[in-house]
């Protein structure tokens, strides 16, 4: 089986140009969506209610 170094003269580290350390400002550059916590809460509540209703109508009635 051929190894990676047999396919070219450059090693993997030479091709990898990603930054290893990101500055604080760059790491926090995403947008803040405070309303997302409500979307998550309503979504989880909806799933719980849907499973309860499915259980109720399938096994209790």
Are 12 and 4 in contact by the 8 Å Cβ rule? The answer is yes
Q: Would you kindly state where each structural domain of the chain is located, as residue ranges?
A: 34-61
Q: What is the pTM of this model?
A: 0.47
What pLDDT is stored for residue 8 in this prediction?
57
Please give the C-alpha separations between residue 23 and each of 16, 19, 27, 41, in angstroms, as whole numbers.
19, 10, 6, 32
Q: What is the pLDDT of residues 21-60, one digit of tens each?
A: 777 777 777 777 777 888 999 999 999 999 999 999 998 7
| Measured torsion, CA atoms of residues 17, 4, 7, 10, in degrees rounded to the nearest 10 | 30
């Amino acid at each position: 089986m051929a190894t990676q170094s047999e396919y070219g003269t450059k090693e993997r580290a030479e091709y990898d140009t990603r930054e290893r350390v990101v500055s604080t400002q760059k790491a926090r550059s995403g947008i803040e969506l405070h309303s997302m916590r409500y979307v998550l809460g309503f979504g989880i509540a909806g799933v719980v209610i849907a499973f309860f209703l499915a259980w109720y109508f399938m096994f209790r009635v």
